């Protein structure tokens, strides 16, 4: 059976960077605030190396708090400092840019709009950097209903699709005479989605590797399932030979939070079938 990897798959730049920062602070006294990425296997591996996970700052009284790539709002930095804990900031530079753009717009008197998902931790952090006064828009209808204002500043969640961003911006152009659009999109997600789309159209079966709690992996699985038989797995151990009966070609993709070693194990297991 031929096994083909998607052109873009697995860890993005921001996740790779966050993991390597966490590893550099694996001293048994460092914890990430929330899981560093949505991949249980990677989180367990880091725990074994000496990087724990806390869900709340109340769980820590000494040591180092590692901020994950999604970032957090300014209040969290203040709370960490007030507790006398050290901070290691692994916020992805793309996310940082969105946060600081929102801050700058807000401080310059713009009504800030964030294009993205209301409940995503990254969007919540951008909102906090905008002083908590920004509006999050998810749909074109929401943009249409946005009231006229004097000065309007727009940023986006880093993982928003370009086409969606442009559609919402088009609806906002008439809402103010003074409008500033800061395109804070990162291309990693779209690259993985379009590579998965291309590959799924050329193979009999797709394996999408990554945490079941990873939104971007689940989205990849959905995209692939629209094109061919698709299985979302977390590890190679889940692979079943029955999936490939009469299949000549299998494709593999993986979310931005899936470690290379898991992708490799899946690839090797498929090649042996
Ligand atoms: S998807 Fe982009 S913005 Fe998000 S962590 Fe990865 S590189 Fe950074």
Give me the CATH number covering residue 161: 3.40.1010.20
Q: Answer yes or no: 122 catalytic.
A: yes
Same domain, 146 and 215: no
| Catalytic choice (122, 128, 138, 234) | 122
Same domain, 156 and 170: yes
Ligand 1 atom at shortest distance from the alpha carbon of 93: 8
Per-residue model confidence as pLDDT tens digits over 68-80 = 999 999 999 999 9
> Quick one: tokens of 248?
């000549």
- The pLDDT of residue 273 is 86
Average pLDDT rounded to a whole number, residues 166-172: 97
Task: State the total domains in the chain.
Answer: 3
Pocket around ligand 1: residues whose beta carbon is below 6 Å from it?
Answer: 12-15, 69, 92, 94-95, 158-159, 186, 188-189, 256
- The pLDDT of residue 33 is 96
Instruction: Report residue 37's pLDDT band, with 50, 70 and 90 as the boundaries.
Output: confident
CA distance 212 to 217: 7
Q: What is the mean pLDDT of the chain?
A: 96
11, 12, 36, 210: which to mutate for ligand 1, most atoms within 8 A of CB? 12
Q: Which residues neighbour 63 within 8 Å (Cβ) at sequence distance 6 or greater? A: 29, 30, 31, 85, 86
Same domain, 164 and 233: no
Q: Give exposure, 63-95, as e/b (b: 16+ Cβ within 10 Å).
A: bbbbbbbbbbbeebeeebeeeebeeeebbbebb
Same domain, 101 and 140: yes
Per-residue model confidence as pLDDT tens digits over 119-136 = 999 999 999 999 999 999
- The pLDDT of residue 215 is 84
Same domain, 193 and 132: no
Q: Does the pLDDT value for residue 81 go beyond 90?
A: yes
DSSP strand pairing (135-137 vs 178-181): unpaired
Same domain, 205 and 250: yes
> Quick one: tokens of 170?
């088009």
Same domain, 204 and 241: yes
Out of 70, 91, 112, a domain closes at 91
Same domain, 68 and 117: no
Out of 181, 213, 242, a domain closes at 181
Same domain, 18 and 52: yes
Same domain, 166 and 194: no
- The pLDDT of residue 79 is 97
Q: Does the pLDDT value for residue 213 go beyond 90?
A: no
Closest C-alpha to ligand 1, atom 1: 188
Q: For residue 237, what are the domain limits?
A: 2-9+188-271
Q: Does the pLDDT value for residue 21 go beyond 90?
A: yes
DSSP for 82-110, written as a single string: HTT-EEEE---HHHHHHHHHHHHHHHTTP
* Phi, psi for 123 (deg, rounded to 5): -65, -40
3-state secondary structure of 205: strand
Per-residue model confidence as pLDDT tens digits over 41-64 = 889 999 999 999 999 999 999 999
Instruction: Report residue 116's pLDDT band, with 50, 70 and 90 as the boundaries.
Output: very high
Could you tell me the strand order of the sheet in which 249-254 lies?
Answer: 2-5, 249-254, 205-209, 229-233
């Amino acid at each position: 059976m031929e096994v083909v990897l998607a052109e873009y798959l697995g860890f993005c730049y921001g996740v790779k960077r966050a993991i390597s920062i966490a590893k550099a602070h694996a001293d048994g006294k460092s914890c990430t605030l929330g899981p560093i990425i949505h991949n249980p296997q990677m989180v367990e591996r880091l725990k074994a190396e000496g990087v724990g996970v806390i869900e709340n700052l109340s769980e820590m009284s000494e040591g180092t708090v590692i901020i994950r790539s999604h970032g957090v709002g300014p209040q969290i930095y203040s709370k960490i400092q007030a507790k006398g804990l050290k901070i290691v900031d692994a916020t992805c530079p793309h996310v940082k840019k969105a946060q600081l753009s929102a801050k700058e717009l807000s401080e310059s008197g713009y009504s800030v709009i964030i294009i993205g998902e209301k409940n995503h931790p990254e969007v919540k952090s951008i909102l906090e950097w905008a002083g908590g006064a920004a509006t999050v828009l998810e749909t074109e209808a929401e943009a249409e209903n946005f009231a006229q204002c004097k000065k309007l500043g727009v940023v986006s969640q880093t993982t928003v699709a370009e086409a969606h961003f442009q559609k919402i911006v088009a609806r906002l152009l008439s809402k103010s005479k003074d409008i500033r659009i800061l395109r804070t999109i990162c291309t990693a997600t779209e690259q993985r989605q379009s590579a998965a789309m291309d590959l799924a159209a050329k193979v009999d079966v797709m394996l999408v590797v990554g945490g079941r709690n990873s939104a971007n992996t689940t989205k990849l699985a959905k995209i692939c399932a629209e094109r061919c038989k698709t299985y979302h797995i977390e590890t190679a151990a889940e692979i079943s030979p029955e999936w490939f009966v009469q299949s000549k070609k299998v494709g593999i993709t993986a979310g931005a939070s899936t470690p290379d070693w898991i992708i490799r194990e899946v690839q090797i297991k498929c090649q042996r079938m």
